[in-house]
Amino acid sequence: MNRTLKIYIAFFVLIIIGIIVIDANRSKPIDWSPTYATKDKIPFGLHVFNEESDTLFKGQKVERFGSTLYEFLDPKYNFADSTYSIKGNLLLVSENNEFDEASLNELIWFVEHGNSAFLSMKDFPEQLMDTLHTDFGNQYSLSDSLYFNLTNDAFKHKNYTFKKGASLSYFNKIDTLNATVLGYQEIDTSKHVNFIKVPFGRGNFYLHTQPAAFSNYYLLNKSNAGYCADILSYIPKGTVYWQAKSFKNEELSSSPMRYILSQPALKWAWYLFLIGMTTFIIFNVKRRQRIIPIKVPLQNTTVDFTKTIGNLYLQEGNHHLIIEKKIIYFLEKIRTDYLIDTFNLDETFINRLHQKTGKDKADIENVIRLIKRHRNNLPSTEKDVIEISKAIDKLK
């Protein structure tokens, strides 16, 4: 290993060490992504909710599943007697609705058979809203604070203030004959419904528009943690089937390269490594490239070959054959270059050749006359060879 290469490697290693040291001492930015995943400890993950679920659902069994609702519920349906093998409450907490059509239909069917579903998300499937004769909207405001309260007498004196991550969605239409309002949100002195209970079949839907209430950020806030417990107290006693995300972007692979690119320090170290290696290879190859020998290009001997053949014909004195070869070559070139049929060398042929080449029509007529004379007169002289050669050369 030469001295220059050692310097390159040492310089590259120092850069990587410097990046790692700088990144280790830098405060990491807070990730405010609303993942609502049980393994996420970021503000809007559900790590705390997952850890405290036994306390929040005191006396109730909590069963978690990560598949879709259809994959979870369909195997538990008995077609013989139209019943489910499980009874209880479905729990879904998400930023937005993520239902596929089959799962949504299975959810509605499950509730209709005497079960309950608690959904906390910022918007709901249009099909579900139509089924429950309900609709929701969004209120836009300059205020950064929302105030929540519940209608139950046991909670009517409790008010909770949310800022970050709070949803501006609310229910602007409900079936007042069947639906029950369970909670409100206030912003800019406007009061809107954000928590309702809607009977359906033999079961009930509990719809809530503030999933942030279950997040780490608000459960670790003593003044707001009670809101989550108060909301969950409305869920009927029984087993809770919780569709829980294990971690954010769980559909992505966890390959080492994906992890490296997800960490700023490792990502830049990887990029610098690639840049350094590319630079080294470019300079190293340039210095060690072998000398490429100069090869003399092959000479074009076509002209010499033509002269030799011509001399052979002249020595034999076969002027008629020389003229015939020139005519054949001339007509072949016309067919190839101008796509003109040379079978009939008539007035039509002369006009087409004149139009395509732009050559003087008299010169073309002269060549055609000489060709016809040659083909009708077998004896040929050296003078005939020269005459037809000059006539053809005028058209080249």
Contacts of 318 (CB under 8 A, 6+ apart): none
Answer whether 174's CB lies under 8 Å from 196's CB.
yes
The Cα-based distances of 291 to 280, 281, 286, 288, 298 in angstroms read: 20, 18, 11, 9, 21
CA nearest 121: which of 212, 58, 182, 52?
212
Is this model's pTM higher than 0.75 or not?
no
Alpha carbons 183 and 28: distance in angstroms, whole number: 37
**CA torsion through residues 314, 315, 319, 320, sign:** negative
Q: What are phi and psi of 181, to 5 degrees?
A: -80, 125
Please return the burial class of 129, using the count of CB atoms within 10 Å of its CB with bins 0-12, 13-18 and 19+.
middle
Dmax (CA) for the chain in angstroms is 130
Per the structure block, which two tokens stand in for 55?
A: 């306390």
Per the structure block, which two tokens stand in for 22?
A: 């700088």
Alpha carbons 97 and 296: distance in angstroms, whole number: 73
- The pLDDT assigned to 322 comes to 80
User: Which residues in the chain show pLDDT less than 70?
Assistant: 1-2, 23-24, 141-142, 247-259, 262, 285-290, 305, 309-317, 378
- Pure H helices in 289-317: 302-316
CA nearest 196: which of 224, 176, 225, 167?
176
Alpha carbons 307 and 355: distance in angstroms, whole number: 33
- The pLDDT assigned to 156 comes to 80
- The pLDDT assigned to 65 comes to 94
Residue 190 is given by DSSP the state E
How many of the other CB atoms lie within 10 Å of CB of 260?
A: 13
Residue 31 is given by DSSP the state -
- The pLDDT assigned to 309 comes to 65
- The pLDDT assigned to 375 comes to 80
**Residue listed under structure tokens 């206030």:** 186
